[in-house]
Amino acid sequence: MMDALSNLSMGFAVAATWQNIGFALIGCMLGTLIGVLPGIGPIPTIAMLLPLTFGLDPLSSLIMLAGIYYGAQYGGSTSSILVNMPGEASSVVTCMDGHQMARQGRAGAALAVAALGSFFAGCVGTLFIAAFGPALADVSQRFNSPEYFSLMALGLLMAVVLAQGSVIKAIGMVLVGLLFGLVGTDANTGTARYTLGISELWDGIDFLPMVIGVFGIVEIIRNLEQPELHRTSVSTRFKDLWPSRKDFAQSWKPALRGTGLGAILGILPGGGAVLASFASYTLEKKIARDPSRFGKGAIEGVAGPESANNAAAQTSFIPLLTLGLPSNPIMALMMGAMIIQGIQPGSAVMTTRPDLFWGMVASMWIGNMMLVIINLPMIGLWVKLLTVPYRLLYPAILLFCVIGIYGVNSNWVLMAMTVVFALFGYIMSRFGCEAAPMILGFLLGPMMEENLRRSLVLSRGDPMVFVTRPISAFLLFLCVLLVLVIILPTVRKSREEAFQGGD
Amino acid sequence: MLRVKSPQNLGAGFAFGALGLAGLVLGRDLPFGSAARMGTGFFPLILSGLILAIGIWLALSSLVVSGERIERMQWRPVTFVSLAILAFGFVMTFAGLAVSAAALTLIAALARRETRWGETSILAIVLGLFSVALFIYGLGQAMPAWWGD
């Protein structure tokens, strides 16, 4: 524990420079600015803002990104509470009671409890990473290629099972992502694969046009399909924000439980914010003395899930930073950003660049704090933004996306690639296939191939290598268990029920 | 008589089938190698095969298991949003950010059924100037700002 604390203080020493705090601040504000727009969740928000961080040095850019992440998430809660328009699945839960509270004139209390609960959960989550990160990294030191391959298979499978929608389609999308990840020059032989004679593909498919296409642009198109709704936002001022003593008394326990639940669920591959907030809401409803209050403005229904999703958002960094395994699409975006900065996430980061690892952990806490001290006072501004009609917003959002891509690489071919991925994402979404699993596969594709190759070289071509090594066998056993679980009808049914509210 | 019970799954089946086939056909010249000495084609061809299998499975199951309908494609937003992006990339090659941003705004405005041209023109000018101010003067991104730069 002392170790963790001394490491954390080193992290703060590198992260808490004025310059970096400035970047955290800018990131947080931009994240909230885009995230608060109704119908835009954290994933497209982060995808759109990603390019802005590329020009900075690695630590500053990761700090700014963390700010964007927390800002986007909090912005999502704000639009859920005030206009009942969830940007993504994890905010659906917040809508249920948060918006009811807003209608009863308690929007301020809901927003403040969400922010304070998130802040508390963020602090706990940060400590969690400091305590468990190094331990997990130690375990991963004993991993060799076969273990990594099995771990990636398990991670991808879990991400698919715990996500929403059809499992088989999600597996298909993961495989497509893996295949897309292989496009470009093969590192081992120098052979070009699937480049279709396009020189821009020699280095592989560019990450930005892909994520901005399938997340950002598809989101804009989907929003344009809806007739413009007359959005009525509940007006809120800063001075209305402070929750009453009764609100506090009712919400600290749910926040505590939500934090614990979220911190644990966040570590699981495929876990993350969505699962955590659903689980916390269900838990609060179950143990409440009067469950009928839920859905009618129960503050517990805001405090619990909001804390849970932030704790999970925090701890889902653990598999990424220690194993190099992104557990959900947001972590995939983070991983993409790290790779672009020249950092390969994994246990090596902790040993070779401890300043970067601990600086980033510290920056998460800074990002969380920014959220409270910057966003709450600015609530009036965010509310105004909510009332800007979408017809004026979407050209600006589109422009932002496009300049982001063009700024990194001034090449019109990237524009065409963005359009291709947007069309692909749009059509696949019409068939009920979400793009998120594809991004996970895309990032893991080259690594999975490399580890498969090394494992098979090691065993002279004998595939039994994956089951004769104990750790790998255990991981694969979990995979098989998971597949069995999916096939069993009872589990399938309860999984569908659990996600009912999310559709 | 065959009847499609799950149009979404049929569509997904065709999409995956096409991707898997494309992977197999485009990768046909990549050496497969053997397990002990994986060729460059080993992993991608296995993946393509699996994707094709999932496609076939989804397409066949769509005839048996009923599922959701495919929501109608709305071509208007798809077309004009795509065109706006492409136009931006094209205009950037000679006219700088301000003009390109304005062009994107004007074309994107067509993505909605009723376009208010007065309002849109003002928005185009504002966004053109704003993006130059923010991205070029503010963030120092290396791209031409004005026509002729």
pLDDT in tens, B129-139: 988 888 888 77
* Residue A34 near residue A77, CB atoms below 8 Å: no
CA pair distance B89, B97, nearest whole angstrom:
10
Among B residues 36-75, those touching chain A with beta carbons less than 8 Å apart: 36-38, 40, 42-44, 47-48, 50-51, 54-55, 57-58, 67-68, 70-71, 73-74
Count of other CB atoms within 10 angstroms of residue A225? 15
In angstroms, what separates the C-alpha of B1 from chain A's closest C-alpha? Answer: 24
The pair of structure tokens assigned to B133 is: 């101010």
Among B residues 74-113, those touching chain A with beta carbons less than 8 Å apart: 74, 77-78, 81-82, 84-86, 88-90, 92-93, 97, 101, 104-105, 108-109, 111-112
Among A residues 86-105, those touching chain B with beta carbons less than 8 Å apart: none
In-domain check, residue B146: no
* Residue B76 near residue B113, CB atoms below 8 Å: yes
Which residues of chain B are within 8 Å of residue A188 when distances are taken between CB atoms? Answer: 40
In-domain check, residue B114: yes
Amino acid at A71: G
CA pair distance B20, B72, nearest whole angstrom:
25
Same domain, B28 and B50: yes
Span A368-412, pLDDT tens digits: 888 777 777 777 777 777 777 778 888 888 898 888 888 777 888
Give the nearest chain B residue to A402 (CA atoms): B85
Rounded to the nearest 5 percent, the helix, strand and coil shares of chain B are 65, 0, 35
Same domain, B116 and B82: yes
Same domain, B79 and B133: yes
Number of domains making up chain B: 2
Return the residue in B29, B43, B104 with the most chain A beta carbons within 10 A, the one to mutate for interface testing: B43
Taking the Cβ of residue A393 and every Cβ of chain B, the question of whether any pair is shorter than 8 Å is answered with no
CA pair distance A79, A86, nearest whole angstrom:
7
In-domain check, residue B120: yes
**Cα-flanking dihedrals φ and ψ of residue A142, to 5°?**
-85, 0
CA pair distance A364, A391, nearest whole angstrom:
34
pLDDT at A502: 42
Span A288-330, pLDDT tens digits: 777 778 777 788 888 888 888 888 888 888 888 888 888 777 8
The arithmetic mean of pLDDT across residues A23-41, rounded, is 81
CA pair distance A256, A275, nearest whole angstrom:
17
Question: CA of A485: how far to CAs of A461, A491, B5, B24, in Å?
Answer: 31, 6, 26, 31
Break chain A into its structural domains and give their ranges.
2-140+148-229+319-502
Which residues of chain B are within 8 Å of residue A29 when distances are taken between CB atoms? Answer: none
Higher per-residue pLDDT: A67 or B14 = B14
Beta-carbon separation of A224 and B77 below 8 A: yes
Q: Is the pLDDT of residue A241 over 70?
A: no
Q: Is the pLDDT of residue A240 over 70?
A: no
pLDDT at A503: 38
Among A residues 215-244, those touching chain B with beta carbons less than 8 Å apart: 217, 220-221, 224-225, 228
User: Which strand (E) or helix (H) includes residue A192?
Assistant: strand A192-193
Beta-carbon separation of A398 and B127 below 8 A: no
Taking the Cβ of residue A208 and every Cβ of chain B, the question of whether any pair is shorter than 8 Å is answered with no
Beta-carbon separation of B50 and A394 below 8 A: no
In-domain check, residue B69: no
pLDDT at B103: 92
The arithmetic mean of pLDDT across residues A147-151, rounded, is 85
Give the residue numbers spanning the domain of B45. 7-61
Beta-carbon separation of A179 and B47 below 8 A: yes
Q: Is the pLDDT of residue A85 over 80?
A: no
Chain A and chain B share a number of CB contacts under 8 A equal to: 178
Question: CA of A500: how far to CAs of A248, A278, A281, A305, A336, in Å?
Answer: 30, 10, 13, 16, 31
Which residues of chain A are within 8 Å of residue B84 when distances are taken between CB atoms? Answer: 395, 398
In-domain check, residue B70: no
Tell me the Cα Rg of chain A: 22
Q: Is the pLDDT of residue A118 over 90?
A: no
pLDDT at B147: 78
* Residue B55 near residue B13, CB atoms below 8 Å: yes
In angstroms, what separates the C-alpha of A142 from chain B's closest C-alpha? Answer: 23
Percent of chain A scored above 90 by pLDDT?
5
Q: Is the pLDDT of residue A58 over 80?
A: yes
DSSP line for B38-64: B-TTHHHHHHHHHHHHHHHHHHHHTTT
Which residues of chain A are within 8 Å of residue B127 when distances are taken between CB atoms? Answer: 395-396, 399
Give the nearest chain B residue to A401 (CA atoms): B85
Partnered with residue A184 across adjacent β-strands are A193
Beta-carbon separation of B85 and A415 below 8 A: yes
CA pair distance A448, A456, nearest whole angstrom:
12
Q: Is the pLDDT of residue B126 over 80?
A: yes
Return the residue in A53, A201, A399, A418 with the most chain B beta carbons within 10 A, the one to mutate for interface testing: A399
Same domain, B52 and B95: no
Per the prediction, chain A carries an average pLDDT of 81
Taking the Cβ of residue B141 and every Cβ of chain A, the question of whether any pair is shorter than 8 Å is answered with yes
Q: Is the pLDDT of residue A251 over 90?
A: no
Confidence band of A87 (pLDDT split at 50, 70, 90): low
Least Cα distance to A83 among A97, A102, A108 occurs for A102
Taking the Cβ of residue A175 and every Cβ of chain B, the question of whether any pair is shorter than 8 Å is answered with yes
In-domain check, residue B128: yes
* Residue A444 near residue A207, CB atoms below 8 Å: no
In-domain check, residue B66: no
Same domain, B46 and B17: yes
Rounded to the nearest 5 percent, the helix, strand and coil shares of chain A are 75, 0, 20
Same domain, B124 and B90: yes
Give the nearest chain A residue to B119 (CA atoms): A392
CA pair distance B92, A415, nearest whole angstrom:
11
Give the nearest chain B residue to A55 (CA atoms): B141
Give the nearest chain A residue to B105 (CA atoms): A395
Which residues of chain A are within 8 Å of residue B89 when distances are taken between CB atoms? Answer: 402, 406, 412, 414-416
Identify the three-state secondary structure at position A184: strand
Beta-carbon separation of B34 and A461 below 8 A: yes
Matching residue, tokens 């690892």: A357
Among B residues 16-35, those touching chain A with beta carbons less than 8 Å apart: 16, 19, 23, 26-27, 30, 34-35
Beta-carbon separation of A194 and B141 below 8 A: no
pLDDT at B83: 94
Taking the Cβ of residue A287 and every Cβ of chain B, the question of whether any pair is shorter than 8 Å is answered with no
Count of other CB atoms within 10 angstroms of residue A60? 22
